[in-house]
Amino acid sequence: MNYLPIFINITQKPCLVVGGGDIAYRKINLLLKANAQVSCVAQACCNGVTQLAKNNTITVIEKAFEPSDIKSQVLIVSATNDRALNAQVSDLAKNANIPVNVVDSPDLCTFIMPSIVDRSPIVIAISSAGKAPVLARLIRAKLESTIPNAYGKLAELAGSFRAQVKAKFNNIEDRRYFWEKAFSGVVAEKVFSGKTDEAELDLQTQLDKSTDSEMGEVYLVGGGPGDPDLLTFKALRLMQQADVILYDRLVSDEVMELVRRDAELIYVGKERDNHSVPQDGINQLLVDLAKQGRRVCRLKGGDPFIFGRGGEEIETLAENGVPFQVVPGITAASGCSTYSGIPLTHRDYSQSCRFVTGHLKDGTMNLPWDELAVEQQTIVFYMALKGSKHLSEQLQAHGMRGDMPVALVEKGTTPEHKVHTTTLAKLPDLVANETIHAPTLIIVGEVVKLREKLNWFDAES
């Protein structure tokens, strides 16, 4: 981040604005909304600033700025069209360790004014670090249209119950669960409908009937192949409400950025011959955490039920009476092929598609090669990079042509997305001579030829 987003309490605190024009007037009004005590130094003032002074809302000192005007303010805004003066104000404020904002000059600022969505006490600030303020305002406009004004009333209602809720529940997880249920249920709907008194009664009833939880819940969530835009709404919601995240190495950094900020993160990543936590240990950890009353998100790359061992995990959960939900994700075969411009089926080239793991439980690649080596079929091999030479030999030995098109999709759908194309016979040489990183998916079939025409995501590769 270029700036740390913070909110400053300036209620009844002295703030200085240098300049008296229309831009200064807008900044003054913003400070006044936060209940600041505003002084304005300017040789000439616009009508708006003058009127504020006449109403005794602010103090205006009509003179040229002098260094002695900087005293013990909590923040300073310089809003003049004099670059030299703005720079002087900036230097003086920095030397006095006072936060300073110079309008339209990010290089002179120690803080910048964001675009604001005001649903007080809910306040949302949007910043582009001074690089694209118009874009920030457009984003604000989108949020303004989707966030009802009643969210402020909902926050006020929650604030009036905060002490009761804290006294009712012994741990923070139970308090969080109570509020999430209230904010997503009938209480919130009644506030949005203007029935605040009814919402207050319902919230009190919910609180009176609530008890500390004894059993948590586990969410098996498919994180998709890498692009966070491919997450489902349900996946994102559960990722945001989980207390603990167990994630593997195939979950992209971009997807991990979307989990709840204060959730406990536990890495249980596995790669060939190197398991940081054995599968049995993961299964038991899910049970143990849930029995502690935690809400646990088991976040997996791709889809939990397609070579993700999700079935084994929920077997253990079911045996131990732990409630769970499973959220499908876009599996790597679908995501990687789509982003590579390779349709898995096509009327002219392939009438079926098979997903195959190249790494079985015992470390072998003992597959039904006769069923795989047929025409008009697409084969997608997961975890087969290390065994690519063996699969090339076996498919050819069972009748597949050596010139069958093959694509290797490296880190599909992510910014590092890369596609290598070759033929079945030349596949071992490609893997031996090129540096190809896992995770890599191998697609075998005539549909690979369509990439040249249909590639849209990485057109320059």
Flag whether 227 is marked binding.
Answer: no
Is 288 an annotated catalytic residue?
no
Q: Is 301 annotated as a binding residue?
A: yes
114 annotated to bind ligand: no
The answer on whether 152 is annotated among ligand-binding residues is: no
Known binding residue 225? Answer is yes
Q: Judge whether 23 is annotated as a binding position.
A: yes
The catalytic position among 195, 270, 426, 449 is: 270
Query: Is 50 annotated as a binding-site member?
Result: no
CA 317 and chain centroid, separation: 28
Q: Report whether 365 belongs to an annotated binding site.
A: no
Sign of CA dihedral 254, 260, 262, 263: negative
Q: Is 331 annotated as a binding residue?
A: yes
Question: Residues near 320 by Cβ (< 8 Å), separated by ≥ 6?
Answer: 287, 291
Q: Assign 3-class secondary structure to the chain.
A: CCCCCCCCCCCCCEEEEECCCHHHHHHHHHHHHCCCEEEEEECCCCHHHHHHHHCCCCEEEECCCCHHHCCCCCEEEECCCCHHHHHHHHHHHHHCCCCEEECCCHHHCCCCCCEEEEECCEEEEECCCCCCHHHHHHHHHHHHHHCCCHHHHHHHHHHHHHHHHHHHCCCHHHHHHHHHHHHCCHHHHHHHCCCHHHHHHHHHHHHHHCCCCCCCEEEEEECECCCHHHCCHHHHHHHHHCCEEEECCCCCHHHHCCCCCCCEEEECCEECCEECCCHHHHHHHHHHHHHCCCEEEEEECECCCCCCCHHHHHHHHHHCCCCEEEECCCCHHHHHHHHCCCCCCECCCECEEEEEECCCCCCCCCCCHHHHCCCCEEEEEECCCCCHHHHHHHHHHCCCCCCCEEEEEECCCCCCCEEEEEECCCHHHHHHHCCCCCCEEEEECHHHHHHHHHCCCCCCC
Q: What distance in Å separates the CA atoms of residue 78 and residue 60, rounded to the nearest whole number?
A: 14
273 as an active site residue: the answer is: no
42 is in an annotated binding site: no
402 among the known binding-site residues?
Answer: no
Per the annotation, does 403 bind a ligand? no
Task: Tell whether 306 is in a known binding site.
Answer: yes
Which residues share a beta bridge with 100? 76
Q: Catalytic residue among 27, 153, 248, 411, which?
A: 248
Say how far apart CA 417 and CA 342 lie, in whole Å.
Answer: 14
Binding residues for S-adenosyl-L-methionine: 225, 301-303, 306, 331-332, 383, 412
The residues annotated with a catalytic role in the active site are 248, 270
Binding-site residue numbers are 22-23, 43-44, 225, 301-303, 306, 331-332, 383, 412
Annotated binding site for NAD(+): 22-23, 43-44
